[in-house]
Amino acid sequence: MGWDFLKSSFVFVIIVIGFIILLLAPRIMTVHNLGGYYTPKTEMTYKENIQAFIHDFQTEGFGENRYGTAVLEELQAFIKRDLIIVIPAFVLSIILGTFLGVVQFQFREGPFGKIQAFFSWIFSSIPDFFFYIAVQYALIKLFYVGLPQFNLYGNDQWYSFILPMIAVMLYPMLHISKFTFTSLENEVGQDYLRTAHAKGLRTISVLKHMLWNCLGSLLNQTQFVMLYILTSLLIIEKLSSYFGAGYHLYGSIINNEDQRTLAFILPYLLLMFMTVIFTKVCRHWLVPRKSGDSR
């Protein structure tokens, strides 16, 4: 377990360094005219960018934004808004996705299971930003026919996080649902299931045992869930004018604010790192060593 933690920490450091190197890549090629020949000097510009970044970071840290506010100070407020979306979306994606997968597996031969599979396929084919725009448009139309109005944009209301949260969790939830269904189907025909049915165990007990044996595979999907939520958050916050870290990360990239961009991307990388560690800890303590074993 300790070795896995060291490996994950090493990979995390490499990713941060790689991101900084990518962040400082020259955005405009510098060309020098030498005796009629035009020679690109991208390497020189790259070196200057790295030296300037190191100097600025040593003297100013992450610096200040254009309004004179310390970047770390504004980051604390914005990342809290993001966590209000990210953490519930992550937990609900896993819980609801697993539940829907079990329901689809249990009723897979009947019309209910086939209808559920059809709608899962439909919604998993829709990009989250298109889904969000469609929901916004539908709600605006409903406002005109008498639906009580509420604010669809911004982050001032207590409910402002709900629509963005639903948008970013939709695809991960359906992915977990499909993965759970497939994992349970792969367990069908195993010897321990025949033994369980022969002993007259209830269906709910058999399903619990099947899920227990699928736990390792399901835990591996938590990293994908977090990755998808974080990558979708930026565009959803932009569409909803939800002023979180993702919204301001987009602005800092557009405005070439390297230090501010690094400050806003680090919490996302840390969330991914924590998800990886969480998965490894759960696998170490919870996953059965052999199929059919219980602890």
For residue range 239-292, what is the model confidence (pLDDT) as tens digits? 999 999 999 998 888 888 888 888 899 999 999 999 999 998 888 887 766 544
Q: Read off the amino acid at residue 95.
A: I
Residue 232 has pLDDT above 50, yes or no: yes
Instruction: Give the range among 22-36, 231-245, 246-260 with minimum mean pLDDT.
Output: 22-36
Token pair 């005219």 is at which residue? 33
Hey, where are the domains in the chain?
1-60, 79-286
Residue 195, CA distances (Å) to 189, 192, 201, 257 in order: 11, 5, 9, 63
pLDDT at 162: 94
- Computed over every residue of the chain, the mean pLDDT equals 85
Smallest CA-to-CA distance from 65 within 267, 233, 287, 248 is with 248
pTM comes to: 0.86
Residues with Cβ within 8 Å of 93's Cβ and at least 6 positions away in sequence, in order, are 169, 172, 173, 176, 225, 229
Instruction: Give the range among 53-57, 178-182, 282-286, 289-293 with minimum mean pLDDT.
Output: 289-293
Class for the domain spanning 79-286: mainly alpha
Residue 168 has pLDDT above 80, yes or no: yes
Number of residues in the chain = 295
